[in-house]
């Protein structure tokens, strides 16, 4: 093959199927034959031009495929090996944050599908420093959403101060939350799912929640306090007012971690912060080692996303379905 198929953003809101020339990977990079790529809400940063974009640009940062060529200087990876590429394109290894071990906040990090072409394609070039190892007992389709929605929620739970047996609340039942509930249950937490409407009770229970709180029928903060107060609240949806309202459901020393990005400000009072030493924090994603752990844990515990499979050539329709909130809950593009 001298070319490969890709779906690229050519202007804000416009995706088109095209043929791109096959390139060899440069130093420190690998070329990947893609098998599956998730469609994530963060892809809007590329497709809608929310980030500075050099058009055209191929979106997609939940990429699973096999290495078919190694660039010079690449060690530890082999041709034919199945790998993943997430939102973070690979740390530089030499900035102040990298030298302190904080690869997520690398000052020279490129974002997959934003600064470089991503996974809405049959082939992509990726930095070896950003690769994630994929276990044999996870299919490529099942693994893809775990590289963003899975990694983000798993990493936040894993690094939070909550311990097994503590009450952990997950705000929302959607693309991130339906994985967060599963992870929290398998990590040994007492899990409360918070969403609007009684119709989500059965789903929350099926995913592993011990409690379901209908925020349309009762005050979620009061409901959490009635359960003893949450040690941790994971905010998976972009909702400033709801985040502030549920913050009062934290027990003393509790933390609310925001994972969803939105424009609505979070109005938390000094009193709620100080009296009880509560914390409001944010989390982006995880480093490649945490990506490895996310996939291994998911395979061992049986955590899986609810997935709709769509062929690559229908990526524009898949993106629109995701953007309008009709996906239940993750869409994965397949390349075969």
Chain segment 146-176, per-residue pLDDT in tens: 999 999 999 999 999 999 999 999 999 999 9
Residues 19, 83, single domain; the answer is: yes
Residues 204, 320, single domain; the answer is: no
Among 282, 297, 323, the domain-final residue is 282
Confidence (pLDDT) at 329:
93
Residues 269, 312, single domain; the answer is: no
What is the CA 143 to chain-centroid distance, rounded?
12
Residues 112, 170, single domain; the answer is: no
Residues 156, 262, single domain; the answer is: yes
pTM: predicted TM-score of the whole model, two decimal places: 0.96
Residues 191, 266, single domain; the answer is: yes
What is the arithmetic mean of pLDDT over 98-107? 97
292 belongs to a structural domain: no
Residues 167, 219, single domain; the answer is: yes
Nearest Cα to Cα of residue 148 among 280, 334, 331: 331
Whichever domain contains 234, its CATH number is 3.40.50.720
Pairing mode of beta strands 330-334, 29-39: antiparallel
Within 13 Å of residue 229, how many CA atoms lie on the same side as its CB?
A: 11
User: Rg of the chain's alpha carbons, rounded to an integer?
Assistant: 20
Distance CA 300, CA 138 (A): 10
206 belongs to a structural domain: yes
Q: How many CB atoms lie within 10 A of CB 145?
A: 29
Confidence (pLDDT) at 134:
98
Within 13 Å of residue 114, how many CA atoms lie on the same side as its CB?
A: 20
Over the stretch 222-273, which tens digit does the pLDDT of each residue have? 999 999 999 999 999 877 888 998 999 999 999 999 998 877 889 999 999 9
Question: Please, what is the average pLDDT of the chain?
Answer: 96
Which structural domain, as residue segments, surrounds residue 47?
Answer: 3-144+306-334
121 belongs to a structural domain: yes
Pairing mode of beta strands 3-11, 14-21: antiparallel
Number of domains in the chain: 2
When pLDDT is cut at 50, 70 and 90, the band that residue 220 belongs to is very high
Residues 238, 275, single domain; the answer is: yes
């Amino acid at each position: 093959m001298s070319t490969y198929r890709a779906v690229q953003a050519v202007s804000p809101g416009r995706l088109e199927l095209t043929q791109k020339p096959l390139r060899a990977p440069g130093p420190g990079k690998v070329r990947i034959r893609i098998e599956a790529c998730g469609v994530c809400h963060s892809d809007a940063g590329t497709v809608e031009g929310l980030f500075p974009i050099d058009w055209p640009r191929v979106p997609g940062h939940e990429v699973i495929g096999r290495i078919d060529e190694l660039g010079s200087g690449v060690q530890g990876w082999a041709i034919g090996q199945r790998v993943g590429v997430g939102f973070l394109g690979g740390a530089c290894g030499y900035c102040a944050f990298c030298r302190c071990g904080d690869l997520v906040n690398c000052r020279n990090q490129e974002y997959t599908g934003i600064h470089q072409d991503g996974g809405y394609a049959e082939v992509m070039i990726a930095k070896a420093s950003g690769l994630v190892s994929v276990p044999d007992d996870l299919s490529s389709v099942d693994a893809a959403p775990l590289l963003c929605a899975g990694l983000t929620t798993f990493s936040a739970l894993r690094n939070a101060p909550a311990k097994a047996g503590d009450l952990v609340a997950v705000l929302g039942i959607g693309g991130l939350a339906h994985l967060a509930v599963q992870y929290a249950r398998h990590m040994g937490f007492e899990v409360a799912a918070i969403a609007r409407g009684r119709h989500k009770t059965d789903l929350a229970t099926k995913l592993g929640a011990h409690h379901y709180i209908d925020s349309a029928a009762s005050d979620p903060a009061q409901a959490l306090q009635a359960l003893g107060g949450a040690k941790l609240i994971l905010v998976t949806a972009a909702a400033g007012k709801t985040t502030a309202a549920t913050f009062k459901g934290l027990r003393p020393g509790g933390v609310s971690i925001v994972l969803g990005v939105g424009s609505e400000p979070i109005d938390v009072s000094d009193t709620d912060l100080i009296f009880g030493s509560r914390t409001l924090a944010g989390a982006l994603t995880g480093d490649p080692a945490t990506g490895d752990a996310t996939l291994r844990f998911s395979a061992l515990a049986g955590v899986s996303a609810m997935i709709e499979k769509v062929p690559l050539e229908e990526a524009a329709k898949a993106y629109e379905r995701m953007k309008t909130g009709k996906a239940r809950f993750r869409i994965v593009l397949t390349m075969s």
